[in-house]
Chains A and B, each alone.
Chain A
């Protein structure tokens, strides 16, 4: 039986290009190219590295989005994924993280119904447009899977029953062995994503689109209306003033100069 990996990926606006309308506080998306979310590219790469290592690995990419998110599936398959599934329906539009993970949960369950069990799910840590880092962990909870977030190193046992991962923390790391199936969220330190190949671009692609009815999701739990959170305001933080370096030949002189500045500003 094949070793099945599901990668959840999101198409996001390229934040190198994007700007925020200062008046309305909303993202200016016109003419902004869409890209495969950075952390999700690391998620896919890890799945593909497992596929490189073993002969019987099947990698499925699932994304939720508008029809143009098919481009994301195209790219993932051109890199080496076996199939791509787009969950697209007006009913799931505007979903927050909770509603999104409900949708993805339903999509994964439909995939299982059609294909059998999966062994691993990868998601990127977070999307560069929302930065919440919630969808992966929520999906794991809803599927009842063990999860490890912020994975920066990954090793799969030869018997493929467990994986050992290094989880990045702010002030260190955790080394965790986890039994499969599980869900891992990946960060950029994990690997360097590969490029598409030209033959991958030109090869046949197994891509399908599922709507809300196909995945039999509870419509009261998806979409904008069902989302318990919504965006209050988006804004570009004002750039911070550059710092001032307090100079002086000796420590005493530096302290003196600091005092002069603080007094000058009536801080002390």
Chain B
């Protein structure tokens, strides 16, 4: 057992921390208020390799591992959870399935542009009537000989409005249920493919969450990802990894909220002394710091298992479940520790509390994580 980060992982933390303090933090409040996708930050993230952290250099990746990827999302999310999820959705939900399930041709065609950040990725599984019940896919893909014809719609797609490459699930044989779902690569500009409504959300307001609409969308035959009928497997394995990303985002939100709260408590005086001198409040800080550290260990362990090619699904579910609840709990307490100021937009904890909530919902709700965990403990 080794609880130390490697030198490379330490330097990734240092680099992303510097980057987040200089490039991300100054924009966070404004892009949240304006609901503006930070294109300029994404461009800089691309330049420094933050959009291809855990992939080999042969495909244009940075050659890092999943712990350094988790650290990247964590450090970004400490300052801005929207920026964190842009990186996470791109990396875990689009690059990874193409890397893991794609043919060599598909990898060569898509990964260099995605991993270098020239192109941004997204993932489409959720539909109006297929959320937690992902098997209820109504988007259809029809084999038309020379091409696939897609019809249907996806909702709540992170990066939707700014992505160039989409990994999309569609039903190819309804009679087979989950085994009738297949995965496809759709490109921005494909005939019959358009972006629908952009959601107006409670939190992560600077991330782009949209509908994807397929109306007689024609895509070439070579866009099928994995085999016909393997879409559900592609989606579930992708979400297992995605959960490490979202758990890292939750971890970052929690740590970021505690960091600013500790500063606030040292500066804020009531009854003639700093808030940090009151033992009742010190105990709250102790509790929050411990929960965050526990979440961190779960997150890094899941990432480490992924790096070691061990089965990591239940570990990722535990990490995501625990880190998300920690983020919600910590940010709620941090608003409380700020008192009235914490409820205003003058202090970042207000945004962090709104941002934290989504981590309990997307890429599998907390309830779904518990289903995954229970199944691994009790047997299916």
Q: Is the CB of A195 within 8 A of B18?
A: yes
Which of A74, A75, A195, A202 is the one whose CB lies under 8 Å from B63? A202
- B64 at the A interface (CB under 8 A): yes
Q: How far is the CA of A203 from the CA of B15 in the complex (A)?
A: 15
| Interface contact A201-B57, CB-CB below 8 Å | no
Q: Which residue of B lies closest to A203 (CB)?
A: B63
Interface size on B, residues (CB 8 A): 21
Query: In the assembly, what is the distance between CA of A111 and CA of B139, in Å?
Result: 65
Known: A201-B64, A202-B63. A195 touches B11 (CB 8 A): no
> Considering the complex, which residues of chain A in the window 7-28 have a beta carbon less than 8 Å from any beta carbon of chain B?
none
Q: Give Cα distance in the complex from A196 to B8, angstroms.
A: 11
Q: How far is the CA of A245 from the CA of B52 in the complex (A)?
A: 57
CB pair B15 A202 closer than 8 Å: no
What are the interface flags for A188-217 relative to B under an 8 Å C-beta threshold, 1 for contact and 0 otherwise? 000000011111111100000000000000
- A203 to B56, alpha carbons, bound, how many Å? 11
Given contacts A195-B18, A197-B48, A201-B64, contact A78 B57 (CB under 8 A): no
Chain A residue numbers with a CB within 8 Å of B14 are 75, 196
| From B11, B48, B72, contact of A74 by CB (8 A) | B11
Name A117-153 residues within 8 Å CB distance of B: none
By beta carbon, the residue of chain A nearest B44 is A195
Please determine whether B11 and A75 come into contact, CB atoms closer than 8 angstroms. Answer: yes
Q: Are B50 and A198 in contact (CB under 8 A)?
A: yes
Beta-carbon contact of B11 and A201 below 8 Å: yes
Kindly state whether residue B49 has any CB partner on chain A within 8 Å: yes
Chain B: CB-nearest residue to A204: B63
| Residue B7 at the chain A interface, CB threshold 8 Å | yes
Among the listed B7, B11, B52, B61, which residue makes an inter-chain contact with A196, where contact means beta carbons less than 8 Å apart? B11
Question: B8: which A residues are within 8 A, CB to CB?
Answer: 201-202
Closest chain A residue to B47 by CB distance? A197
Cα(A199)–Cα(B47), bound, Å: 11
Tell me the smallest distance from the CB of B120 to a CB of chain A, in Å. Answer: 17
Smallest CB-CB separation from B18: which chain A residue? A195
Complex interface: chain A residues within 8 A of B19 (CB): 195
Q: Assess the A199–B62 pair: CB atoms within 8 A.
A: yes
What is the bound-complex CA distance between A201 and B47, given in angstroms? 14
Report chain A residues within 8 Å CB of B53.
Answer: 198
Min CB distance, B116 to chain A, in Å? 10
A201 to B16 alpha-carbon distance, docked (Å): 12
- Separation of A227 and B52 alpha carbons in the complex (Å): 49
List the A side residues contacting B15 at CB < 8 Å: 78, 195-198, 201
With A74-B7, A203-B63 in contact, is A198–B57 under 8 Å at CB? no
Closest chain A CB from B282 CB (angstroms): 21
CB neighbours (8 Å) of B47 from chain A are 197
The reply to whether the CB of B181 lies closer than 8 angstroms to some CB of chain A is: no
Query: Does B83 lie at the interface of the complex (its beta carbon under 8 Å from any beta carbon of A)?
Result: no
Cβ-closest chain A residue relative to B7 = A74
Assess the B49–A197 pair: CB atoms within 8 A. yes
Please give the distance in Å from A62's CB to the nearest CB on chain B. Answer: 20
A202/B7 in contact, CB under 8 A: no
A202-B18 in contact given A74-B7, A78-B11 (Cβ < 8 Å):
no
Q: How far is the CB of A41 from chain B (nearest CB, A)?
A: 11
- Closest CB of chain B to A73's CB: distance in Å? 12
CB atoms of A198 and B18 under 8 A apart: no
Q: Is there contact, CB below 8 Å, between B11 and A199?
A: no
List chain B residues, Cβ under 8 A from A199: 49, 57, 61-63
| B68 CB–A CB distance under 8 Å | yes
Kindly list chain B residues whose C-beta atoms are within 8 Å of the C-beta of A74: 7, 11
B63 to chain A, nearest CB (A): 4
CA of A182 to CA of B64, assembled, Å: 38
Q: Indicate whether B149 reaches chain A with its CB closer than 8 angstroms.
A: no
Cα of A195 to Cα of B57 in the assembled complex, Å: 19
Q: How far is the CA of A203 from the CA of B11 in the complex (A)?
A: 12
B365 CB → nearest A CB, Å: 31
What are the interface flags for B290-303 relative to A under an 8 Å C-beta threshold, 1 for contact and 0 otherwise? Answer: 00000000000000
Q: How distant is A102 from chain B, measured CB to nearest CB, in Å? A: 31
Residues of chain A with a CB closer than 8 A to B50's CB? 198
Complex: A195 Cα to B62 Cα, angstroms: 14
Q: Is the CB of A197 within 8 A of B62?
A: yes
When A78-B15, A203-B63 are in contact, do A198 and B7 touch as well, CB less than 8 Å? Answer: no
Minimum CB–CB distance for A75 against chain B, Å: 7
Could you list 7 further interchain pairs (A-B, Cβ under 8 angstroms) beyond the known A199-B63, A200-B49, A201-B62?
Answer: A71-B7, A78-B11, A78-B15, A195-B48, A198-B53, A201-B64, A202-B57
Sample of 27 A–B contacts (CB below 8 Å)? A74-B11, A75-B11, A78-B11, A78-B15, A195-B15, A195-B18, A195-B48, A196-B11, A196-B14, A197-B15, A197-B47, A197-B49, A197-B62, A198-B49, A198-B53, A198-B62, A199-B49, A199-B62, A199-B63, A200-B49, A201-B11, A201-B68, A202-B57, A202-B62, A202-B63, A202-B68, A203-B57
List residues of chain A with CB under 8 Å of any chain B CB. 71, 74-75, 78, 195-203
